[in-house]
Each structure stands twice: as structure tokens, then as C-alpha cells.
């Protein structure tokens, strides 16, 4: 008898002829998430099985699996022989201690002498004999004991099915570049896009010495937390100090942020194209701050040709916070390091920047030169 983790996947079955590809990427992601833990990964009919891991690390295996996109549900259970006594040895380990229960059997091996109803009845009887305080309830049981009789004289026994994160295997939807700040929103945006199968590469803009290293460390920590889902373990940082100084010196104060964002998008697109990424991702939410108005987004979009995905565009702040808490990035996001110095914050930022006015202000700057200069400050941080 061996402790195993059973993994069922979501949506992949929808993918018709591409199914093989999706399954390969999924398996690769499962392997990456289990890095550092000895294990074997097996494919069985319509599911994966993690086996041969140290038994005391079962919880850790389950926890890591639970965060892999594409996992619909998972169970920690036992791989046992298919003789009734062997099956029951496993059942004893997963059966409830009190309350109502039922036994649900799936018989993949159709030549097994008993049919699934008979196996369930037999095991139900043995469970009751072992613990007479339990009661059978086939309609609304408090607990279910699952038995899965397979070919080759083996069976799986488990006591619960826990929901995974769902979504699509990361990597099956291409690659994108997330503009990650130290705030609450961008990590959630990255999570949501990774959930739809996107490889989410990370780009952070800083303006040292106007911002401090604490802000950068915070972003590294957020990226590390995100990597649990996205499996991306590096981050690129770019300094926009020079750009901020130039804008501050030469352009109308109320357009500071609008102009800076346009630079950020330009830089991001250059990096994305170079790295083979097909889209930009931001944590913008419509109307949340002065720069996240429709006009603001239009002005940023105007300088790039890649699509800009904004998965949070229709989310309220409360909803974003709730998600950030759920994925575990919230506490780091609210640490008190700011990603923009107050010295560059205009008192009244333009909420509806006019294209003509933007063009007029931008004409005062050497846009190409500043972008090239900023790209030279790129640093890759692996974590």
C-alpha cells in the first residue's frame, strides 16, 4: 500500500486534437511544481497520479499540486492491490470516524468479478462492522469513500476530492509580459492570466533614488509568491528615473503620469517583442485612479501594437483585495514602500488627457532616446 496523490484536470478534455499538447504541458508544470520533492508522475486514464514521494511530505505535495493551473480536483489516497482485503486495508485509513457515509466505486477494469455496486456494498458492510456508530446515507452523506478499481490488479482508495485552482496549464496560451508594481492589483492580474494558460513574464519599473530598494525587494517578494502559480522565477527591472526627470522638467505637470505610462508601455513592448511575448498585461481597473480612465488607457494603448490584457478592468477594489488575499499576495502588497516618489505626483493629474495635448507635450522629449536609455538599465533578478 502506498500513499499517492490523484489529480484530475479541467478543460483539457475540451481541446480535441490539441489534447496531447495540453497534457504534455500540464505534466511538465506538475513536474516543475514538485521540484525538490522526490516523486514519480504517472498518467492513468484521464488523470495523473503522483507516487513514490516521501510519505511525510504528502501534504506538501498536495499543497503544491493544488496551485497548478489545470488541476480540477485532487485527492490524497492510497494505491492498493485489487483483492477485497487489500482494498479494505486502504479503506480503513480513509474511512470517517463518525457521521454518515457512502461508498462510491468506479470500476475501470470491467473484468473484475464484482461490479461497482457490489464492491460498494461489500466495503460499506465492512466499514459498518468496523465502526457500528457510522450510518449509511447514499443521498446526502457527510463523507464519501471512493474506490477506483483499475487494471493490473491495482485500486485507488481515497476519502475526499479537494478542488484545485482550475484554469488552463500555464504555457498553453502563449507568453505575456506583466507590468508589476508593488501594489495589490498587478499580482492578481498576473495570476488571472496565468490561470488562462499564459506564461506571465514580469517587468517592474523603478525610479531609484526617488524610490528605495525596499520597494524593489517588495516586488521581488510578490514575484516569488506569484511564481507558485506562474512557475516563472525571474523578474526584469528597468529604471525610469531619467524619463521621470525629463517629463518633470519639460512637460505639463498634469500629464506626468499619462506620459510616464506611455513610456512604460513602449519599453514593455520592446522587451515583449524581444522575448517572444505576444501581449502586455496590466492590473488596471477602469476608473480606479486618475490614470486608469478610458482616456488614460486609450493613450497608453496608442503607443503599442501588442494587445494589452487588463483582466481586472471590471473588478471593484474590494474584489481585487479579496482575490489578492486568497492567492497570498495581499500582505506583501500593503507593505509601506511606494513605487512613486511624491515629488513627481502632480496635484491634479489629468483624468481625460487629450491626444493633441499629449502629442504636444511628448514632442518636447526625445522619446526614442529615452526608451533606449531606459532599456539599458534592465536588470534580471532570479529568485
**How many residues of this chain bind other proteins (CB under 8 A)?**
16
138 lies in the site for other proteins, by CB under 8 A: no
245 lies in the site for other proteins, by CB under 8 A: yes
Half-sphere exposure of 151 (CA within 13 A, CB side): 2
217 lies in the site for other proteins, by CB under 8 A: no
Closest to 187 measured CA to CA, from 223, 217, 149: 223
Are 99 and 134 a contacting pair, CB within 8 Å?
yes
Stretch that binds other proteins, among 10-18, 38-46, 264-272, 334-342 (CB under 8 A): 334-342
The enclosing H or E element of 157 equals strand 154-158
Q: Cα dihedral sign for 187, 191, 192, 198?
A: positive
334 lies in the site for other proteins, by CB under 8 A: no
Stretch that binds other proteins, among 98-106, 124-132, 243-251, 268-276 (CB under 8 A): 243-251
Stretch that binds other proteins, among 110-118, 225-233, 271-279, 337-345 (CB under 8 A): 337-345
211 lies in the site for other proteins, by CB under 8 A: yes
Q: In angstroms, what is the minimal distance from the CB of 344 to other proteins?
A: 8
Smaller CB distance to other proteins: residue 14 or 345?
345
Chain centroid to CA 112: how far?
Answer: 41
83-112 positions binding other proteins, by CB under 8 A = none
Q: Could you say which of 122, 208, 365, 367 contacts other proteins (CB under 8 A)?
A: 208
What whole-number distance in Å separates Cα of residue 307 and Cα of residue 175? 12
Chain centroid to CA 14: how far?
Answer: 20
Are 333 and 223 a contacting pair, CB within 8 Å?
no
Give residue for cell 483585495.
Answer: 321
335 lies in the site for other proteins, by CB under 8 A: no
Strand partners, 382: 234
Q: Could you say which of 249, 347, 356, 376 contacts other proteins (CB under 8 A)?
A: 249
Smaller CB distance to other proteins: residue 142 or 343?
343
* Residue 134 DSSP one-character state: -
Smaller CB distance to other proteins: residue 86 or 254?
254
342 lies in the site for other proteins, by CB under 8 A: yes
36 lies in the site for other proteins, by CB under 8 A: no
Smaller CB distance to other proteins: residue 211 or 285?
211
What whole-number distance in Å separates Cα of residue 16 and Cα of residue 71? 18
Q: Could you say which of 212, 233, 288, 377 contacts other proteins (CB under 8 A)?
A: 212
Give residue for cell 485527492.
Answer: 75
Q: Mind giving me the DSSP string for 219-240? A: HHHHHHHHHHHH---EEEEEE-
254 lies in the site for other proteins, by CB under 8 A: no
Which chain residues interact with other proteins by CB under 8 A? 208-212, 245, 248-249, 336-338, 341-345
Amino acid at each position: 500500500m502506498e500513499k499517492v496523490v490523484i489529480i484530475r484536470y479541467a478543460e483539457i478534455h475540451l481541446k480535441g486534437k490539441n489534447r496531447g499538447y495540453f497534457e504534455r504541458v500540464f505534466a511538465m508544470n506538475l513536474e516543475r511544481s514538485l521540484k525538490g520533492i522526490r516523486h514519480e508522475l504517472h498518467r492513468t486514464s484521464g488523470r495523473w497520479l503522483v507516487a513514490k514521494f516521501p510519505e511525510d511530505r504528502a501534504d506538501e505535495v498536495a499543497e503544491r499540486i493544488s496551485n497548478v493551473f489545470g488541476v480540477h480536483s485532487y485527492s490524497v489516497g492510497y494505491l492498493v492491490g485489487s483483492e477485497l482485503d487489500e482494498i479494505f486495508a486502504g479503506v480503513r485509513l480513509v474511512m470517517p470516524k463518525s457521521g454518515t457515509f457512502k461508498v462510491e466505486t468506479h470500476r475501470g477494469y470491467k473484468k473484475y468479478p464484482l461490479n461497482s455496486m457490489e464492491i460498494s456494498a461489500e466495503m460499506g458492510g465492512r466499514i459498518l462492522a468496523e465502526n457500528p456508530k457510522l450510518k449509511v446515507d447514499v443521498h446526502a452523506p457527510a463523507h464519501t469513500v471512493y474506490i477506483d478499481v483499475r487494471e493490473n490488479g491495482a485500486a485507488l482508495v481515497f476519502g475526499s476530492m479537494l478542488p484545485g485552482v482550475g484554469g488552463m496549464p500555464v504555457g498553453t496560451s502563449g507568453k505575456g509580459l506583466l507590468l508589476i508594481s508593488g501594489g495589490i492589483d498587478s499580482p492578481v492580474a498576473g495570476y488571472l492570466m496565468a490561470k488562462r494558460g499564459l506564461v506571465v513574464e514580469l517587468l517592474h519599473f523603478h525610479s531609484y533614488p526617488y524610490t528605495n530598494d525596499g520597494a524593489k525587494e517588495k516586488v521581488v517578494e510578490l514575484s516569488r509568491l506569484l511564481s507558485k502559480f506562474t512557475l516563472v522565477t525571474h523578474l526584469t527591472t528597468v529604471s525610469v528615473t531619467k524619463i521621470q526627470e525629463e517629463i518633470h522638467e519639460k512637460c505639463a505637470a498634469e500629464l506626468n503620469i499619462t506620459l510616464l505610462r506611455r513610456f512604460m508601455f513602449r519599453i514593455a513592448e520592446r522587451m515583449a517583442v524581444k522575448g517572444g511575448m505576444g501581449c502586455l498585461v496590466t492590473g488596471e481597473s477602469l476608473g480606479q485612479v486618475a490614470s486608469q480612465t478610458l482616456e488614460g488607457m486609450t493613450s497608453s494603448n496608442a503607443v503599442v501594437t501588442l494587445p494589452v490584457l487588463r483582466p481586472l478592468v471590471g473588478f471593484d477594489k474590494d474584489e481585487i483585495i479579496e482575490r489578492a488575499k486568497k492567492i497570498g499576495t495581499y500582505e506583501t502588497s500593503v507593505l509601506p514602500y511606494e513605487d512613486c516618489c511624491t515629488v513627481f505626483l502632480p496635484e491634479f493629474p489629468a483624468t481625460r488627457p487629450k491626444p493633441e495635448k499629449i502629442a504636444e507635450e511628448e514632442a518636447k522629449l526625445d522619446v526614442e532616446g529615452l526608451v533606449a536609455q531606459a532599456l539599458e538599465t534592465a536588470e534580471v533578478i532570479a529568485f
